[in-house]
Amino acid sequence: MKITVLGSNGWFDTDTGSTNCVLLQTSDYSVIMDAGFGITKIKNRVDFSKPVYLFLTHLHLDHVIGLHALDYFNFEQPLRVITPIGGTDDLKDLLRSPFSAAWDSHVYPIEMIDAKNLEKTNLPFKVEALPLVHAVPDTGYRFEIDGKIIAFVIDTAYCENAVKLAKNADLLITECGFYPGTVNTVSGHMTPETAAKLASDSNAKQTVLIHFGANAFETIDKRSRAVDTGRKVYPGLIMGLDNMEFIL
């Protein structure tokens, strides 16, 4: 499978990258994780004749603003959108006039599935959803696809569920919302040091950081120097960049 970082910024787009989106592709389907404006890059990457599954962590705009561009794509099968735990009604309320085209008015059908109902949903892969620690309800995911484990743990403080989702992951995709040394217990974000602790405690084989807070990381150099601090705890920490690819 191929995994591509399409958006590595948190909060808003800058010259350093688009807002959060990660694309996972197999020969049979595509999985999209979060829908910041990075999602617009799937246009020339995804085979729209195959099934596409979109997993959302929470409803802050930097994770769903790309849904405004759904008419830009030509899905040939129903798009299945997995909403955060308990977030389906709120997402439907956001995707309606006058804010956007209504979620059920596109030329292709959209099926919304609450993450709390994943066990009852027929998917071609195994996925676990758990609540994380953030300023608003937030959901993390653990995918088991083609014998590999991919954990998507975004917009959260370090917590027990984050470690559980990331346990022995072949690839942990997590966040670096705050600059090293920042203390903020309200927003629910990690620094490079706490992200590295998560990677180490969960025994993840590879860990890539995305969701670099756009206000704290104005340049790629700032990202790089910050990630270096986390490497003291987890030497293999990877600085995520837009268009970075991983093959598992």
Closest C-alpha to 31, from 120, 123, 93 = 123
What digits encode the pLDDT tens for the residues 3-45? 999 999 999 999 999 999 999 999 999 999 999 999 999 999 9
What is the number of other CB atoms lying within 10 angstroms of the CB of residue 126? 11
Structure tokens at 142: 């653990």
Please state the pTM of the whole predicted model.
0.97
Judged against a pLDDT cut of 90, whether residue 183 lies above it is answered with no
Report pLDDT for 182: 87
d(CA 135, CA 119): 26
Judged against a pLDDT cut of 70, whether residue 111 lies above it is answered with yes
Judged against a pLDDT cut of 90, whether residue 187 lies above it is answered with no
C-beta of residue 213 within 8 angstroms of C-beta of residue 198: no
Judged against a pLDDT cut of 90, whether residue 192 lies above it is answered with yes
Report pLDDT for 201: 98
Report pLDDT for 186: 72
Residue 135 banded pLDDT, cuts 50, 70, 90? very high
C-beta of residue 140 within 8 angstroms of C-beta of residue 58: no
Report pLDDT for 76: 96
Work out the mean pLDDT of the chain and round it to a whole number: 96
Report pLDDT for 71: 92
Taking residues 70-83, report their average pLDDT: 96
Report pLDDT for 17: 98
Task: Kindly give the interhelix angle for 192-202 and 220-230, rounded to the nearest 10 degrees.
Answer: 50
Judged against a pLDDT cut of 90, whether residue 77 lies above it is answered with yes
Domains of the chain listed by start with CATH number: 2-247 (3.60.15.10)
What digits encode the pLDDT tens for the residues 78-106? 999 999 999 999 999 999 999 998 999 99
Judged against a pLDDT cut of 80, whether residue 185 lies above it is answered with no
d(CA 175, CA 162): 11
What digits encode the pLDDT tens for the residues 204-228? 999 999 999 999 999 999 999 999 9
